[in-house]
Each structure stands twice: as structure tokens, then as C-alpha cells.
A = this chain, B = another copy of it.
Amino acid sequence: MKTIIGIDLGGTNVRVAKVTDSGEVLQELKSPSYGLEGPEKVVPNIISLIKQIDGYKDCIGVGIGVPGPVDTVNKVMKLSSNLTGFTDYPMAKMIEEATGLPTFLDNDANCAGLAEAIIGAGKLYPIVYYTTVSTGIGGALIVNGKLVSGKSGYAGEVGNLIVDPYREPFNNLNPGASESEASGRAITRKGQAIFGDKIESAKDVFDLYVQGDEEAKKLVDQVTTDLAVMYSHIAHIVDPHIFVIGGGVMKSKDIWLPIMQEKFKKLVHSGMRDVIFTEAECSEPGILGAAMLPISNGL
């Protein structure tokens, strides 16, 4: 049995865990991350937490999930809006030097996808495409248990996929980007534009749909079409064995997922229609996926 140190580093908190290669958490520590106080404060705190893990030196390596794109070759973040000063900062190298453990870095969506591919809903399948339909939309490609992060860590940036080029752009994304049209935030925004403040989340829109509201039906029809186009893009480019979907919008999956799948089938070749769509099942995909990074990298 291998053990690995998995680290889920966010702007507010950091969690450090000792995890087995089958995904069992043996020990977990949590602390403020001091994410806005700069790496000089954040990194020594992480190193101190690692050293508090029993037998940390016997672990095969350290994996860190971070919120933002990562250059996985040079092991640095390329953009760090929630972690001040981390762009190009050699955190992984410093942790390697302080602990003697090989250290790997990837973004949190990639980590969540890796967890699902190795120990979660995708574990039996060679090609897994993970997507999270949450406040935003992100994703990850995992082939034979290894993350395909891309040239600069942008594989899985499916929130910027164009589903309809004639829509208005939002938040520096493309016009008609999937995240602007079908994320939790987008569904809420569109719901509020129709129903006003009684819509507080995507779930409120789906509840109105269930009650038979005609406007809600039109909105769900548009959102499911947009998601079907997004998944058809992914299917034609990598033809995964399974789509694993996480994120809060999956709370309403019984409403939208079957409609979306029917539309998806009309947008792909007949031999592609039986691809599986299933819900993510890891309870802590961030930290488990971070712990799987050394394994994904061949350790």
C-alpha cells in the first residue's frame, strides 16, 4: 500500500492529508491558507502541516491542487486570482526541498477529475472526461489513469467552449461560452432576468420547471441544448468512455440530465450515442485527486 500527501490549497483554507493509493484518508489537517498574505506566509505553513503528518517521510510524494491554471512541467501556477503572488512562484520546488518528497501541482478541477477517474465514478474506464457544472464550468481529461493537463494546463477549460456564437459575452469568456450560458451562475442570472429576486439559485429555476411554468420550461430547454452542444464538442474530440459530472447543478440532475442526453444523441454519430453520463461520487475529490497526482505522474 502506497501513501501520499494530498493538499487542497484554496484562497481561504488549506487541507493536508495522508491518503492511501485506494483513496482512504488516514490523517487530515486543516488550517487557514493565508492566501492573500503571499507565498512567504503560505508555503512555510504548508510545510509545517506536512511535517505534522505521522510518517510523512514514508509517503511516495506530495500532490497539490490549486485554484487556477498550472504549468505542470515547471510546476508553477500561471494565474492565481485567489492566491496573491503565486504566479510562477516555485512552491512545489520549495516543498520538495523541505520534505525530500517529489511534489506535483495541478488545478483543482483536474484533481477532482483525476480522483473520479482513479477511485470514483470513472474508475473502470480508460478515457474519462470529468466536468463540473457548478458556479462555473470546468473539466479534466484522464486517459488510462493519467491526467492530460495540456501544454499549459488548459485542457478541460470547457467553460470557454462556444455553444452559440451569437450570444452576448460575459466575464472575458467567449460569446456563447458554455459557462456563460449553462453554469449554475448563468442559470441563476437568466432565471432572475425572468422571475426576479425569487430566484436564488439554479435549483429554483428547475423547481419552477417541475411546477410546469412555461418560462422555466423555455429556459431549461435552452440550457440543456447548450450543455448538449458542449458535450458533443468533447465527444467528437476525445470520444470518452464516460462523462463524469460533478458540481452543484447536479443536485437537479433528475430534471435536466435525461433531457440533455436525448439532445446530445442527436448531435453525435450513431456509434457515439451510448457514452455514459454519470454523477461524480467522490466526497472529497479535491484532496483525493491531489493525492493521486504523484501516481498519475508515474510514481
Which residues in A have some Cβ–Cβ distance to B below 8 Å? 69, 78-79, 127, 139, 141, 143, 148-158, 160-166, 174, 229, 232-241, 267-269, 271-272, 275
Given A160-B269, A267-B174, A271-B69, A150 and B233 touching (CB < 8 A)?
no
Distance between A250 CB and nearest chain B CB, rounded to angstroms = 20
The answer to whether A155 touches B239 (Cβ under 8 A) is yes
- A272 to B, closest residue via Cβ: B154
Given A127-B151, A174-B232, A160 and B237 touching (CB < 8 A)?
no
The answer to whether A237 touches B141 (Cβ under 8 A) is yes
The answer to whether B160 touches A238 (Cβ under 8 A) is no
- A154 to B, closest residue via Cβ: B239
Residues of B within 8 A of A143 (CB): 143, 148
Which listed residue, B78, B151, B164, B229, touches A240 by the CB 8 Å rule?
B151
Residues of B within 8 A of A238 (CB): 141, 148, 150, 155, 237-238
- A173 to B, closest residue via Cβ: B269
Residues of B within 8 A of A234 (CB): 237
The answer to whether B271 touches A78 (Cβ under 8 A) is yes
Residues of B within 8 A of A79 (CB): 271
Residues of B within 8 A of A239 (CB): 149-157
Given A237-B155, A239-B154, A229 and B269 touching (CB < 8 A)?
no
Determine the distance from Cα of A120 to Cα of B247 in the docked complex, in whole angstroms. 41
9 nearest A-B residue pairs (beta carbon): A150-B239, A154-B239, A155-B239, A151-B241, A157-B236, A237-B237, A233-B233, A152-B271, A155-B238
Distance between A212 CB and nearest chain B CB, rounded to angstroms = 28
The answer to whether A162 touches B237 (Cβ under 8 A) is no
Determine the distance from Cα of A154 to Cα of B236 in the docked complex, in whole angstroms. 6
Residues of B within 8 A of A166 (CB): 166
Which listed residue, B78, B162, B240, touches A267 by the CB 8 Å rule?
B162
Determine the distance from Cα of A144 to Cα of B152 in the docked complex, in whole angstroms. 15
Residues of B within 8 A of A152 (CB): 239, 271-272
The answer to whether A165 touches B237 (Cβ under 8 A) is no
- A229 to B, closest residue via Cβ: B162
Determine the distance from Cα of A165 to Cα of B222 in the docked complex, in whole angstroms. 13
The answer to whether B151 touches A232 (Cβ under 8 A) is no
Residues of B within 8 A of A163 (CB): 165
Residues of B within 8 A of A233 (CB): 161-162, 233, 237
The answer to whether A158 touches B236 (Cβ under 8 A) is yes
